[in-house]
Structure 1
Amino acid sequence: MKVLLVIFLFACLMLPCFGDAQPESAPAPAATESESVTKTTPEATEATEAKKDAPAKAPAAKADAPAKNATTNKTATSAAQRKPAKSLRTEAELTGFTSETSDRLGGRISLVNTTKERQWWIKTGYNKTLSRTYGQTSTYETNIGRFNLDCEYRKKNENSYHFVSAIVNHRTRKPHSPSYYDSSGYQMMSAGYGRRVLRGTDLELAVAHIQQQRNETESRLAPVLTLRIATPVSSAISFDCDAHLVQPGSSDYLLDSRLNLTYKLTPALRLRMTYLLNNILGTAMTTRTPEWDKSLRLSLVFAN
């Protein structure tokens, strides 16, 4: 009985200890990979997608660059094609020559404006020549000045045109000599019709009022036939000619012509040889036969 009593009391004392002690709970199992993806927040999902998309978008941007460059080039090319060609062409011509017997200096300016429907030009120049004749005891000097002006306005059709023009060719000589004209030349106002007969070749027929001066002035109304040629000889050489024939076929016809042979040194610099031939200016005081006035020049031409 004592033994049972002792066991009973011992059991009563140990019972509270067994009631406080609880079994350890098992550790929570680690979340699986699929569960982690499921529990990810929306912000994290957007960040992850942005990182995944970033490498894919970079090549697309690079691929767009050539396309943009191609578009820019096409735009620039189209703008260049739409830009109209330069219609105004200018030339400044200088000539000079010196020797023991003569000195020559001259200049000429040319403005030519060409469009699809019309064309006009102004060409004017002045030349001064000093000639020396040596005698036994003295030297004689002669000053000759020459002024020329050529203007024309055209209203063009496909292969023909109507035009008005004005031409002035005048020469003075000093000192006075009883054998030569002190002043000679002519002024011509004309209007007519022109046609392109060949490539680079125009033929004009006009009615002109001419004032011819040989110390005295006389006027006449006469037909004028004009031949104008402008053609390339090679890639660097070109030839042009203007020839005016007043009263063609008559015995007292008048001719004024200018021939140019031009060699292109650079795009802005040219070398030109000019030959002038006319029987309008006259030199000696003679009425029996027309006296031809001839001149050969070498000049530099600055063009743009």
Structure 2
Amino acid sequence: MNTGALTISIDFELYWGVRDTRSLDDYRERLDGVRQAIPRMLGLFEQHDIHATWAVVGFLFCHDRDEALSAAPSERADYKNRMLCPYRYLEQSTDLVERYHFAPALVDLIAATPQQEVASHTFSHYYCREAGQTAATFSADIAAAIRIATERGLAIRSLVFPRNQWHPDYLAVLAEHGITAYRGNEHGWLYAATDHVGQNTVRRMGRLLDSYINLSGHHTYSLESCAGTLPFNFPASRFLRPHDPRLAWLDGLRLRRITHAMRHAARHHEVFHLWWHPHNFGIDTEQNIRFLQRILEEFEHLRRRHGMRSLGMAELANALAAR
């Protein structure tokens, strides 16, 4: 690739992404805010001609519990930790609030916005490194995710593994289902794919510090380095950590950490891959949107000066396959 590229991927999951770790009452405000945050993000993307990949949990295509259970695969993960099973939760919850679990109108809005790719975050927010699941149940889950997207007229070509639990043994499953790209993890111990227990306090603190101070490098890479068998791995470069009022005085460092990596990618014709969740913008939405605006203004500058492009994950796969 003879220019640098900014790639953005967004993990759209609503309550499915935190259901086993946060109570709904604790997370309600963030989830409510998603309904305002996503249109604001899409507006910025249109303004700056940003191509983004939205990895959507399959449940979000549904309108209610009955539709979700009807679309679910018959072969399901038997997690050792029962709290991880979304189907037990769906079947047993007596007070399931649809707006926190389903979002077909938002999925339609994303799909209708120019240059936005609807990708998969698995059907059920599937955990590939937790005990009790197998490649066969993963394949059934992916088949369900592709089926419900296809029914909406959408072709799934990219995937983001929930909680970044990517699993090398499962890549062949993605290829069998026609998925050409996935988001791997940043290199290094801090970002290694593990089960929930493996994400200990030391790792979390290290990643927090790395968001402000360059501890682990830029994590940019050449497109050619991603070549190999399908699906192609386009690793993350940086998580867009949301606004924190307690750390707002460090926002200059947080922005510089991202923009310096973007400049490095632009100058060296490499990829910078930024990611986050919509619920990260669900509170302090104005501050988060302003911060994103500054990132995209830097991208505009790099596009003018160095020809940097905005490419979604499927577009990166197309560019690599065409070499």
**Normalising by the residue count of structure 2, what TM-score does the alignment of the two structures yield?**
0.26
Structure number having the greater strand percentage: 1
Structure number having the greater helix percentage: 2
**Normalising by the residue count of structure 1, what TM-score does the alignment of the two structures yield?**
0.28
Ranked by relative contact order (alpha carbons within 8 Å, sequence separation 6 or more), the top structure is 2
